């Protein structure tokens, strides 16, 4: 992203067969996974994040990382990350690793993980990492707002952290991204989070 938050100008380049392989790999890895507390295939989230990354001017590595950003955290830990590095390269693996807050099955306290992730974003300099992470959080915030409008506060029951903790986290994310990656996605995240917790 540029300082003004606009996608960098670059020549239009088609996605290659490498992207196709990543799409098939993501579909396979997350085949039996669903959005938390729903019957929605998890791939829907990965596609949404990938779309946001591409629309923001992300390159193929960033688009692939968007498709795979949850694979190690949800489906295999560091072994999965190593496989991603082998299949799709160091830059993709670096972005995926930076977008994960844990690789452990027995996870640390939710608040501890989120505070550490926020601290990481405050010093992250790789624009690809910031773009993929922001797209992930925006896609999540959009889904949360839709669920809030359809179901009211009951939809928060499917999460480990209650609504007030989620409010702290998403408000903090919106602030960090406006400072670190200000642009259309960051502004939409802030607007979405504001609306979500005003209902």
For tokens 């990481």, name the residue: 120
Q: How far apart are CA 146 and CA 142, in angstroms?
A: 6
End-to-end CA distance of the chain: 32
Distances 39 to 10, 57, 74 between C-alpha atoms, Å: 39, 31, 17
Which residues does 173 contact at the CB level (< 8 Å), separation at least 6? 118, 121, 137, 189, 193
Task: Count Cβ atoms below 10 Å from residue 17 Cβ, excluding itself.
Answer: 7
Which of 143, 187, 184 shows the shortest CA–CA distance to 53? 184
Domains and CATH numbers, the chain: 17-196 (1.10.3210.10)
Residue 186 has pLDDT above 60, yes or no: yes
Q: 3 and 184 in contact (C-beta within 8 Å)?
A: no
**Residues pairing with 54 in the sheet:** none
Q: What is the pLDDT of residue 7?
A: 52
Task: Map residue 34 onto helix, strand or coil.
Answer: strand
* 106 DSSP assignment: S
Q: What is the pLDDT of residue 12?
A: 80
Q: What is the pLDDT of residue 74?
A: 84
Distances 89 to 72, 85, 92 between C-alpha atoms, Å: 15, 5, 6
Residue 2 has pLDDT above 50, yes or no: no
Task: Map residue 41 onto helix, strand or coil.
Answer: strand
Confidence (pTM): 0.92
For the stretch 148-182, pLDDT in tens is: 999 999 999 999 899 999 999 999 999 999 999 99
């Amino acid at each position: 992203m540029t300082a003004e938050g606009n996608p960098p100008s670059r020549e239009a380049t088609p996605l290659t067969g490498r992207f196709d392989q990543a799409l098939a790999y993501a579909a396979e890895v997350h085949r039996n996974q669903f959005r938390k507390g729903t019957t929605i295939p998890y791939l829907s989230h990965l596609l949404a994040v990938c779309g946001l990354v591409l629309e923001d001017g992300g390159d193929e590595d960033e688009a692939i990382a968007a498709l795979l950003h949850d694979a190690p955290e949800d489906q295999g830990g560091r072994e999965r990350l190593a496989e991603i590095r082998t299949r799709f390269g160091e830059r993709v693996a670096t972005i995926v690793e930076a977008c994960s807050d844990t690789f452990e099955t027995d996870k640390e306290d939710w608040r501890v993980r989120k505070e550490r992730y926020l601290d990481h974003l405050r010093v992250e300099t790789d624009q690809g990492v910031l773009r993929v992470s922001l797209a992930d959080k925006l896609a999540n915030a959009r889904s949360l707002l839709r669920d809030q409008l359809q179901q009211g506060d009951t939809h928060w029951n499917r999460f480990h952290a209650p609504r007030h903790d989620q409010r702290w986290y998403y408000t903090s994310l919106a602030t960090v991204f406006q400072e670190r990656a200000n642009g259309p996605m960051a502004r939409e995240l802030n607007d979405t989070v504001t609306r979500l917790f005003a209902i």
